[in-house]
Amino acid sequence: MLGGCYRPFAPQKGLTPMVKKAELLEKAAELKLEVSDKNTIAEIEAAITGASTPETEAPAEEETPETDGKPLAKAGKRSEKALAEAEAKAEKEARKEAGDTTPQSDEVEANAKKGPKPITRPRSERRGKNYRKVAEQVESDKVYSLAEALELATKTNPSKFDASVEVHVRLGVDPRQADQNIRTTVSLPNGTGKTIRVAVFAPEADHKAAKAAGADIVGDEEFIKQLDKQEINFDILVATPQYMPRLGKYARVLGPRGLMPNPKSGTVATDVAKAVTEAKAGKVEYRVDKQAIVHLSIGKVSFGAAKLAENAKAFFDSLQSQKPASLKGRYTKSTSISTTQGPGIKVENVTN
């Protein structure tokens, strides 16, 4: 049958080779094959088989893309999909670094801002009305003396409450150096004007003396239970040296708040009564921050310029005594004074 799969001729029983060859030649003639009776039966069968079975082209082998001379994997980091995603991510990061925020999809319209460019007002104009009013009294380009700056600070408080007067000193030290990481305490003659809550963590034998000195919280086991509940009801914590190891597990609670007792700040002491008295009297700690700046509150606006000057002198004398011996160059770069929410007042460098 034409177009079908030819099966080798199986002669019926009793057929002679001549009859078989005749039938094969008849079949070859139908297929228009160039064979004759001179060909053997095997040759005629082979010709009929080749003509009846159409040759099918073998499928071409899929070319495997290569990268860097290595064929791609079917899965994993070296697969075609993974490499395409990595390339897209790299392009996205490059656009991000270049500041190109234009959408890459044609279906999404670019979010272009319409209208004129917004005008950014100066920072002073964005302040409140009370701030702008008192800021007019401060000359931004003038460097005041300490006495003038303190007198001006008491007049430039825009708040309705009794604000603190703060001193900010930028030093020329490197806080990363151990010998230049300034941290100490100073007793302000007139106090800070704040109500300081002092807690004492000491043996029971010291409880009576601590309470007599004015401690607000005194305890040992009861105090530990409060720390377990993270109840922080104090501003300064005084502890004895033998009780310090018991506070180790609370370092993550007390440390970030600046409440961890430290020998440099005088909060680790054997005489807890003396430590409490000094803390209540106005002994404060100051330290340089990562930007090499010291911040300290030296009192309230209600103190007046005279009392603030006494506190400021005590602070600057203490700061001068902490000047590192290894420091080369200027110790104080700049000094300013301000109230809690008031404008900054440039002050001449007292420590230099």
Instruction: Please tell me the predicted confidence (pLDDT) of residue 349.
Output: 85
Instruction: Please tell me the predicted confidence (pLDDT) of residue 264.
Output: 80
Mean pLDDT of 58-63: 48
Q: How confident is the model at residue 3 (pLDDT cuts 50, 70, 90)?
A: very low
Rounded Cα distance, 223 and 246, in Å: 11
**Picking from 27-31, 109-113, 222-226, 305-309, which range would have the lowest pLDDT averaged per residue?**
109-113
- CB contact at 8 A, 52 and 31: yes
Mean pLDDT of 159-179: 91
Mean pLDDT of 73-94: 81
Q: pLDDT for 16-38, tens place per residue?
A: 777 777 888 888 888 878 777 77
Q: How confident is the model at residue 58 (pLDDT cuts 50, 70, 90)?
A: very low
SS3 236: strand
Mean pLDDT of 71-96: 80
Tokens matching residue 327: 């420091």
How many Cβ atoms are within 10 Å of 88's Cβ, its own excluded? Answer: 11
Residue with the bigger pLDDT between 127 and 199: it is 199
Residue with the bigger pLDDT between 296 and 40: it is 296
Q: Which residues are within 8 A (CB) of 259 and not within 5 positions of it... i.e. 6 or more apart? A: 232, 234, 235, 236, 237
The sheet with strand 236-239 has its strands ordered as 217-219, 198-201, 236-239
Tokens matching residue 35: 């064979």
Asked if domains 136-192+282-352 and 197-281 share a fold, the reply is no
**Picking from 15-24, 72-81, 98-107, 145-154, which range would have the lowest pLDDT averaged per residue?**
98-107
Q: Classify the phi-psi angles of 91: left when phi > 0, otherwise alpha if psi is within -120 to 50, otherwise beta.
A: alpha
The CATH class for the domain spanning 197-281 reads alpha beta
Rounded Cα distance, 92 and 173, in Å: 42
Mean pLDDT of 1-7: 46
Q: How confident is the model at residue 178 (pLDDT cuts 50, 70, 90)?
A: confident
Hey, what's the torsion of the CAs at 208, 205, 184, 286, to 10 degrees?
A: -50
3-state SS record for 155-168: CCCCCCCCCEEEEE
How are beta strands 236-239 and 198-201 bridged, if at all? parallel
Mean pLDDT score of the chain: 82
DSSP one-letter string for 31-61: TT----TTS-HHHHHHHHHHHHSPPPPPPPP
Q: How confident is the model at residue 70 (pLDDT cuts 50, 70, 90)?
A: low
3-state helix, strand, coil in the chain (%, to 5): 40, 15, 45
Instruction: Please tell me the predicted confidence (pLDDT) of residue 65.
Output: 52
Q: pLDDT for 274-296, tens place per residue?
A: 989 888 888 888 999 999 999 99
Q: What percent of the chain has pLDDT over 90?
A: 22
| Cα distances (Å, whole numbers) of residue 290 to 2, 51, 171, 234, 295 | 95, 92, 11, 26, 12
Burial of 59 (0-12, 13-18, 19+ CB in 10 A): exposed
Instruction: Please tell me the predicted confidence (pLDDT) of residue 15.
Output: 58
Hey, what's the torsion of the CAs at 139, 144, 150, 152, to 10 degrees?
A: -20
- CB contact at 8 A, 213 and 276: yes
- CB contact at 8 A, 200 and 262: no
Rounded Cα distance, 157 and 220, in Å: 43
Rounded Cα distance, 203 and 218, in Å: 9
Residue 177 has pLDDT above 80, yes or no: yes
- Domain assignments of the chain as residue spans, ordered by start: 1-53, 136-192+282-352, 197-281
Mean pLDDT of 100-116: 61
Mean pLDDT of 231-244: 89
Mean pLDDT of 240-252: 89
How many Cβ atoms are within 10 Å of 252's Cβ, its own excluded? Answer: 8
Question: What CATH number belongs to 136-192+282-352?
Answer: 3.30.190.20
Q: pLDDT for 314-336, tens place per residue?
A: 999 999 999 998 888 889 999 99
